Every structure is written in structure tokens, then in C-alpha cells.
């Protein structure tokens, strides 16, 4: 937070001031953001080789941020506002994509007399399904 605060002091903190200005002080273009992400992904892939085969884009980072906010318990309406979505319905797709959240919800409604947790089918059922 100190870096962000210092940047706002240095560049101005008006409502239209960019948090990450380009060389001319204006907002970064989409292409500039994409080039910065590509450069840092390439650098990071030397320490984490799996990054070399992944597609890291501004959209992927935006989606990842939204999913982490959702997992942290941030309300979907707040995420929609933060991402600039026109409608909260647009943000609802993140709720459908979050399997861990669905699993936690199901764990809360475990029927009486049933062991909590995931169902693990017996080997005989798996063998039957494999034979289909």
C-alpha cells in the first residue's frame, strides 16, 4: 500500500489520474499493459517454467482477481462495481465458476445421518462405468 500511496502523491490523486501512468503521464494503453504482462511473464517463467506454456493476459489477471475477491468473501455487487461491470449479472458468472464455493455450500446442507465430505464411489461402480 505504501507504493500505491506514494505513487498517488507523486502523480496526483484526482479522480481521473491514472494509478499506473505511461511515459507521457496518460493512462497505459491496452497494448502497453499486454506488453508489460508478457515481459514479466517471460521473466517469471525462468523461475516458474510452467508459466511458459500458460496464456497470461490482462483478461486472465482480471478474472483471477475477481475469483480471489469472491473466495475472500467480497460481495458480488462490490466486485461488479470494482471491475466496472454494467450489471451484477455479468459478475454472477464468477459464482458459477467457483467450485470450492459450491462445495462449501453443499457441506453446510449435509443431510442428517450422512457423512460430510465428497462422495467416493466404490471400485465396483467405477469398473461398471468404465465398462460402458
What are the tens digits of pLDDT across the range 109-120? 777 777 777 778
In this structure, what DSSP letter does residue 73 have?
Answer: T
Burial, 66: exposed, middle or buried (Cβ in 10 Å; 0-12, 13-18, 19+)? buried
**Predicted pLDDT of residue 12:** 65
CA atoms of 34 and 30, how far apart (whole Å): 6
Q: Is the Cβ–Cβ distance between 21 and 28 less than 8 Å?
A: yes
Please state whether the predicted TM-score (pTM) of the whole model is above 0.75.
Answer: no
Residue 21: helix, strand or coil by DSSP? strand
Worst-scoring range by mean pLDDT, 5-19, 56-70, 74-88?
5-19
54-64 as b/e, with b when 16 or more CB fall inside 10 Å?
eebeeeeeeee
Q: What residue ranges do the domains of the chain occupy?
A: 57-101
- Among 28, 30, 54, 22, residue whose Cα is nearest residue 41: 54
Count Cβ atoms below 10 Å from residue 45 Cβ, excluding itself. Answer: 15
All cell numbers assigned to 67: 475469483
pLDDT tens digits along 6-53: 766 776 666 677 777 888 878 888 899 999 999 999 999 999 999 989
Count Cβ atoms below 10 Å from residue 91 Cβ, excluding itself. Answer: 22
Over residues 66-90, the mean pLDDT reads: 86
**Predicted pLDDT of residue 42:** 94
Amino acid at each position: 500500500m505504501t507504493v500505491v500511496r506514494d505513487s498517488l502523491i507523486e502523480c496526483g490523486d484526482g479522480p481521473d489520474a491514472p494509478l499506473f501512468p505511461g511515459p507521457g503521464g496518460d493512462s497505459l494503453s491496452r497494448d502497453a499493459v499486454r506488453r508489460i504482462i508478457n515481459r514479466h511473464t517471460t521473466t517469471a517463467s525462468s523461475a516458474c517454467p510452467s508459466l511458459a506454456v500458460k496464456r497470461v493476459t490482462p483478461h486472465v489477471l482480471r478474472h483471477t482477481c475477481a475469483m480471489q475477491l469472491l473466495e475472500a468473501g467480497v460481495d458480488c455487487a462490490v466486485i461488479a462495481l470494482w471491475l466496472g461491470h454494467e450489471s451484477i449479472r455479468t459478475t454472477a458468472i464468477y459464482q458459477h465458476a467457483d467450485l470450492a464455493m459450491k462445495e462449501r455450500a453443499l457441506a453446510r446442507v449435509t443431510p442428517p445421518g450422512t457423512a460430510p465430505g465428497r462422495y467416493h464411489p466404490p471400485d465396483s461402480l467405477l469398473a461398471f462405468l468404465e465398462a460402458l
